[in-house]
Amino acid sequence: MALDKTKVIYQIYPKSYKDTTGNGIGDFRGIIEKMPYLSELGVDMVWLNPFYPSPQRDNGYDISDYTAVNSVFGDMADFEEMVRVGKEHKIDFMLDMVLNHCSTEHEWFQKALAGDKYYQDFYFIQDQTTDWLSKFGGSAWAPFWGYGEIL
């Protein structure tokens, strides 16, 4: 489906949407339950914020596995049911894919740290080379959590 300016897009941050398990965290089942309501609102598309496994150092934007779902939200069957129920209500999904960075726990990053040259080419792993500032404050080249120095 091509995006067009007449479509109503409803953004859902799964963690803070409807909780169906009583743990205080929203989940896919909660989104499924609310699908008729979203349809009544005239929603054409749900923009779903990250729901992938993550250590949650960056509100889920530090993805450790792009091929799975964070179990706190449900499982892959729940995700697939949510998409199916959305289609029944003529609601499409737009997934918030974070492709410009990943978690330090991502398998590829861990392989890069372990010295695998193939995966080291996926990242900029080097001593500070610029005076770039991070959006989160400090140098964009600062060491990451758990490591005192850049390789």
Give the tens place of pLDDT for each residue, 24-42.
Answer: 999 999 999 999 999 999 9
What is the domain count for the chain? 1
In a domain, 85, yes or no: yes
CATH number at residue 73: 3.30.750.90
Q: Say if residues 50 and 56 touch (Cβ distance below 8 Å).
A: no
Instruction: Give the pLDDT of residue 91.
Output: 98
For residue 66, give both structure tokens. 């792009």
- Taking residue 81's Cβ as centre, other Cβ atoms within 10 Å add up to 16
In a domain, 91, yes or no: yes
* 56 φ/ψ sector (left φ>0, alpha ψ -120 to 50, else beta): left
In a domain, 118, yes or no: no
Chain segment 56-85, per-residue pLDDT in tens: 888 888 888 889 999 999 999 999 999 999
| pLDDT mean over 41-47 | 98
**Domain boundaries, position 68:** 9-95
In a domain, 106, yes or no: no
**pTM score:** 0.78
| pLDDT mean over 101-130 | 82
DSSP 8-state code for residue 140: T
In a domain, 59, yes or no: yes
